[in-house]
Structure 1
Amino acid sequence: MIERSSAEPGAFALLYDRHAPAIYRYAARRIGSDGAEDIMSETFLVAFERRSAYDLAVVDARPWLLGIATRLMRKHVRVEARAWKGMVADLAAQISPDVIEQASARVDATRQTGRLASALRSLSTSDRDTLLLYAWGDLDYAGIAEALDVPIGTVRSRLNRARRLLRRAAGALETETETGHGRTDTAAQRA
C-alpha cells in the first residue's frame, strides 16, 4: 500500500483504514481521548509525507506508525502530565462517602494508582515509551525495536528496568499496609 501510494496517493487511505484504530487507542491510553485524535491524524500526516523513506521490506507498518505516534507524543509532554493528574483526580472523585466499607479499598487503590503514576513519570522517556508500546501498543519486542529504531536487546533491558521500578512502586504500598500505613509495629518486629 505504501509503495502504491507513491504513484496513487489515494491508496494511502487503505493504510489509514487498517491502522487508525490501533494508533488512536494507543494515543488515547497515553494522553487521553482529547488529544488522541490529533496525534492519530498527525501520525498519518507525517507517515504520508515520509512514505518514500519507508523500508518496503517490512511487511507490517504498525510499528513504524506507532513509532511516529510515540515521537509526536513526546512533543506533547505537558498534555500527558495533565492526563495523569486527571486520571488520579477521576479516581479520587469516584470514592463514594455512602459506601464506607469500600472507602478503605478505594483509598488504597488511589494511593496505589498515584504511586504507579509517579513511578511511570519517573521512568526515562525511552523506558516509558518502550513499556507503553508493549502494554498499550500491543507490540512485541521486535516491533518495539523497529518502532524506536533500537536493538532488541535494548528493548529487553528497558522493559526489565521499567518492570522492576513498577514492581517496587506496587510493593511499597504492600509494605506500608503490612506495617500499619506507615507506622512500624515494633512488637511484630520483635516477634
Structure 2
Amino acid sequence: MIRRSLEQPAAFAELYDRHERVIFRYAARRLGAPKADDIASETFLVAFTRRRDFTGSEDARPWLLGIATTLMRHQARTEAKAWRGMLASDLARTDIDQIDAADARLDAKRLAGRLGKALARLPAGDRDTLLLHTFGELDYEGISQALSIPVGTVRSRLNRARRKLRAAIDPASSQEKEQSHGRNLAPAPSAD
C-alpha cells in the first residue's frame, strides 16, 4: 500500500482507513480524546510525507505507532495532566453517598496518584515502551519496530517500567524485596 502510494497518492487512503482507529485509540488512552484527533491526523500527515522512508514489514502499524509516540513526546506535559484528569473524571462519576465505596475510592485515588506520578517519572523511552505494549497492544517485535530499538532493549525497558510501577503501588513490599535482594529471609527448617 505504502509503496503503491508513491505512484498513486490516493492509495494512501487505504492505509488511513485500515489503521486510523488503532492510532486514535492509542493516542486517546495516552492523552484523552480531544488531543487524540490531532495526534492521529498529524501521524498520517507525517507518514504520508515520509512514506518513501518506510522500510518496515508488511504491517505498517508499528511504524505508525512509532510516529504517534514521537508526536506525543511533544505532549508530555499534557499527558501528565491527562493522568490527573482521568482520576478526577472517574471520581466525579461515582456516587459518594455509599460509605463502603468511598473507602475504595480513596484507596484508588491514592493508588492512581502514585501510578500517575510513577508514570510521569519514568524515562520517556520506558514510558513509551510500556504504553505501546499496554495501550498500543504491540508485542515486543512491534515495539522494537515502532521505536527503532532492539527487542532486548524493549524487554529491559518493560521490565524496568513494571518494576517501578509495582514499587509505586506497594512501596513497602518493594523495599523489603530490595533489602533481601529477592531472597527468602525465613529461617531454614532445622533438621531434627
Fold match by TM threshold 0.5:
yes
Matched ranges for 1:94-105 at <5 A: 94-105=93-104
**8 A contact 1:91–1:110 mirrored in 2:** no
Matching residue's letter, 2:66: G
Structure 1, 72-81 or 139-148: larger mean CA deviation: 72-81
1:88 alignment counterpart = 87
For residue 21 of structure 1, report the CA deviation from its aligned partner: 0.3
2:49 alignment counterpart = 49
**8 A contact 2:167–2:173 mirrored in 1:** no
- Find the residue that maps to 1:117 and give its secondary structure: helix
1:183 alignment counterpart = none
Kindly tell me: are residues 3 and 163 of structure 1, through their superposed partners in 2, closer, same or farther at Cα, counting changes over 3 Å?
A: same
Matching residue's letter, 1:116: L
Matching residue's letter, 2:75: H
Instruction: Please state if 1:34 is matched with 2:44.
Output: no
**Alpha-carbon distance in structure 1 between the residues aligned to 2:132 and 2:48:** 21
| Aligned-residue identity in percent | 59
Query: How high is the TM-score relative to the length of structure 2?
Result: 0.86
- Find the residue that maps to 1:87 and give its secondary structure: helix
**Alpha-carbon distance in structure 1 between the residues aligned to 2:93 and 2:75:** 27
Query: How high is the TM-score relative to the length of structure 1?
Result: 0.87
2:152 alignment counterpart = 153
What's the CA shift string for 1:89-115, capped at 9, x where partnerless?
A: 223324433111211111101111111
Aligned residues: 174
Gaps of 5+ in 2: 175-192
Q: Which 4+ residue blocks in structure 1 deviate beyond 6 angstroms?
A: none
**Alpha-carbon distance in structure 2 between the residues aligned to 1:31 and 1:76:** 8
1:124 alignment counterpart = 123
**8 A contact 1:29–1:136 mirrored in 2:** yes
Gaps of 5+ in 1: 176-191
**Alpha-carbon distance in structure 2 between the residues aligned to 1:67 and 1:3:** 19
1:178 alignment counterpart = none
**8 A contact 1:133–1:144 mirrored in 2:** yes
Matching residue's letter, 1:60: D
Kindly tell me: are residues 42 and 173 of structure 1, through their superposed partners in 2, closer, same or farther at Cα, counting changes over 3 Å?
A: farther
